[in-house]
Amino acid sequence: MARRKIAYRKRNQNRFSMILVSMVVIMITIVVAVKSVELRQKIDVVAEKEALLNEQIAAEEKRADEIEEYRKEVQTKGYIEEVAKDKLGLVYEGEIVFKEED
């Protein structure tokens, strides 16, 4: 009879241990699943930021190209002459200027 009590206690202890281990495994699985969802959301947010920054980079590169083209255009002799005539009223020596009357 003493052996039966010991065997019964061991069996109950084994069941209790298995239940505890199962609960721990289930809790770990739940925590991993929740953290996985949170990480996916963070990845999505970072991907959106990356796309926005890539768009801004492309826009700034285009703007830099336009500025470089304008800089080259401004340095041409024709542009300088045009500005000198239109804004400063300068003319070449011997050149006659005709102005419209209002």
Closest CA to 67 of 55, 78, 59: 59
Distance CA 7, CA 24 (A): 26
pLDDT given at position 6: 62
> The dihedral of CA 15, 16, 20, 23: what is its sign?
positive
Q: Which amino acid, one-letter code, is at 53?
A: L
Note the pLDDT tens digit of each residue in 58-83. Answer: 999 999 999 999 999 999 998 988 88
Note the pLDDT tens digit of each residue in 13-26. Answer: 788 889 999 999 99
CA angle 98/100/102 to nearest 5° reads 155
